[in-house]
Amino acid sequence: MSQLDKIDKNQLPLHIAIIMDGNGRWAQEKGEDRLFGHYQGVESVRNIVEGCAELGIEYLTLYAFSTENWDRPETEVTGLMELLAQTIRQEVSTLNKNNIKLQMIGNIEMLPDYARQSLQEAVDLTKANSGLTLIIALSYSSRWELLQAVKGIAADVKSGKIMPDQINENTLRHYLVTSAFPDPELMIRTSGEYRISNFLLYQLAYAELYFTDTRWPDFGKEHLYEAILNFQQRQRRFGKTGDQIQRESATDMH
Task: List active site positions.
Answer: 21, 69
Amino acid symbol at 110: M
Whole-number Cα distances in Å, 97 to 14, 39, 103, 122: 22, 23, 16, 13
Among 21, 145, 183, 208, binds ligand IPE (CB under 6 A): 21
Options 20, 81, 100, 149; binder of ligand IPE; rule CB under 6 A: 20
Phi, psi of 171 (to 5 degrees): -60, -50
Q: Which does 63 bind (CB under 5 to 8 A by kind): Mg ion, ligand IPE, none?
A: ligand IPE
State the Cα–Cα distance between residues 166 and 199, nearest whole angstrom: 28
Compute φ and ψ for 115, nearest 5 degrees: -70, -45
Least spacing, CB of residue 22 vs ligand IPE, in Å: 4
Which of 56, 192 has the CB closer to ligand IPE? 192
Looking at residue 32, the DSSP 8-state letter turns out to be: -
Angle between helical axes of 34-55 and 221-232 (0-180°, round to 10): 60
Which residue's C-beta sits nearest to Mg ion? 21
Among 15, 21, 81, 181, binds Mg ion (CB under 5 A): 21
Compute CA 202 distance to the chain's CA centroid, rounded to the nearest angstrom.
14
Task: Check residue 24 for interaction with ligand IPE (CB under 6 A).
Answer: yes
Site string for ligand IPE, 201-240 (x = CB under 6 A): ----------------------------------------
Q: Identify which of residues 101 and 189 has a Cβ nearer to ligand IPE in the complex.
A: 189
Applying CB under 5 A, the residues found at the interface with Mg ion are 21
